[in-house]
Amino acid sequence: MKYSLTFLCLLVSVLACKRSRILTDDIGENQELSSGANLEAQPIVDNAPNGESRITQLQIAVTGPGLTHFIYKIGPSDQTNCLLASGYNTRAISEGITDDISSLPDGPITLCIVVQKGDQWQDYGEATKLTWTKATGALESIQGLTSVITTQKISLFWEASSSSEGTLVVRSQQPIAWSPEDGQVYAPGETIEDVEILASGDILSYEDDGLTDNQSYYYAVYAYDIENRYAPPSLEAGIPSATPYTWISLSSGALTSGAVQGGTRFDGSRELYICRAILKDQSGTVITARHPGKFIPDLKGDPSAGRCYYAFGEGTVRADEFEILVLTRGTFEEAFQWQDFTVGDPLDPKVFVAGNEGADRDLFVCRFQNGVNNLFTPGKTFQGDPCHIDAIGAPNSLRQSASFQILLSK
């Protein structure tokens, strides 16, 4: 079949014109725009997500010299083709892109932008194409949270997180149950309920100085993303002190973290911890003695029913007011050691003074193996005296021994 040269030229012209059309729902299907095949215009795109992003509310600015409008589409990368006319939306340059993409699935996202300059539009093949990975799953909690505790100071350290924008650090003198509200920005110095905001930002450590020694402090560290959504907390607690140990009042009877174990109940059913009873004069204000003994936690299945018992004379006394020995940092082996001892041996200069009886008698922590299972029970001694323990309930048990172990501090 033969075609005239004029017909062929007309056919080429029609095809070229058809290629220059931009078909969108907003502009109007089959609306014909001037060809932009040679349009020298590239938009400046600001504030677009990049890399791995948790952003769901877009605030993207599209600008450029002489640009008046643009069309764009956004979606999962495997479903978004910048060369296809369907799916584009129209915006004036001043409007930007403010879509909420929370309904899009996590994974690779593609944004296509085609701009208008004067009465000409870019060709689809010249579209600006941006990609990133939407990752809005649960934000990972801070990892590797550790503390270094010294006198009047607790320093916190943690690992960097690639999925977080920053870290929020809070403190309380009670275990922390509070959680930050997503979308809320918290400023250092704020106090919410009994929680104090200490720091917020792109940080990997925090030094909490000027604390009161021998006071318990509790910390929660939260990772957050660019939209201020918060991960579950990582928790830490500490007791600043000049030594790696201290005495903590435990009148509630609930076992505290870091309590120093001194032995095991005669039947092996539970650990025994080192405590000391607080004795006062008749006015109830002046402490007259501190007697080391054993703390039995979780009596009868009640976590708040632990009690301190100490030997006195030929009997046993349950203390209504007492303290428990706790580590403020490090391990037992770093702070203490047990030394074999027999009455008459010279006292080691590092013997741990745990209490007193009157103004001139120091009391020390001791223990010896007791009962049918030969398990250690902690008790008290003083210079030249046997080790006395509370052996209540233990069959075939001794209440004192001239050979025992005595607690030394390092």
Q: Identify each DSSP E strand in 153-210 by its residue range.
A: 153-157, 166-172, 191-192, 195-201, 205-209
Which pLDDT score is estimated for 300?
A: 65
Give pLDDT, residue 166.
94
Enter the tokens of residue 191.
């106090």
| Contact between 244 and 334 (Cβ < 8 Å) | yes
Last residue of a domain, one of 134, 167, 196: 134
Along the 410 residues of the chain, how does pLDDT read in single tens digits?
A: 444 444 443 443 433 333 333 333 334 333 334 344 457 778 999 999 988 887 889 999 999 999 999 999 999 999 999 999 999 999 999 999 999 998 999 999 999 999 999 889 999 999 999 999 998 777 889 999 999 898 999 999 999 877 788 999 999 999 999 999 988 999 999 999 999 999 999 999 999 999 999 899 999 999 998 889 899 999 999 899 889 999 988 755 667 778 999 999 877 888 999 999 999 988 888 889 999 999 988 766 666 678 899 998 878 898 888 999 999 888 999 999 999 999 999 999 999 999 999 888 999 999 999 766 788 999 999 999 999 998 666 555 568 999 999 999 99
Query: So what's the pLDDT on residue 299?
Result: 64
List CB contacts of 400: < 8 A, sequence separation 6 or more.
311, 386, 387, 388, 389
Please state, in angstroms and rounded to a whole number, the distance separating the CA atoms of residues 43 and 56. Answer: 22
The answer to whether 197 and 27 are in contact (CB under 8 A) is: no
Residue 138: its pLDDT value, please? 72
Kindly state whether residues 163 and 222 are assigned to the same domain: yes
Given CA atoms 72, 73, 74, 77 in this order, what sign does their dihedral have?
negative
pLDDT confidence of residue 255: 75
Q: How many domains does the chain have?
A: 3
What pLDDT sits at residue 17?
35
The verdict on residue 50 lying in a domain is: yes
Query: Does residue 331 share a domain with residue 384?
Result: yes
- What pLDDT, on the 0 to 100 scale, is given for residue 395? 54
Q: What is the CATH number of the domain that holds 156?
A: 2.60.40.10
181 and 89 fall within a common domain: no
Token pair 């290629």 is at which residue? Answer: 19
What CATH number is attached to the domain comprising 102?
A: 2.60.40.2550
Q: Same structural domain for residues 56 and 27?
A: yes
254 and 383, same domain (yes or no): yes
Residues 53 and 106 in one domain: yes
DSSP assignment string, 327-386: ESSS-HHHHEEEEEEETTSPPPTTB-EEEEESSS-EEEEEEEEETTTTEEEEEEE-TTS-
Question: Strand 315-319 and strand 322-327: pairing?
Answer: unpaired
Chain centroid offset of residue 152 CA: 22
- What domain range is 226 assigned to? 146-238
**pLDDT for res 5:** 42
In sequence order, the β-bridge partners of residue 34 are 120
Q: In angstroms, rounded to a whole number, what is the distance separating the alpha carbons of residues 362 and 407?
A: 13
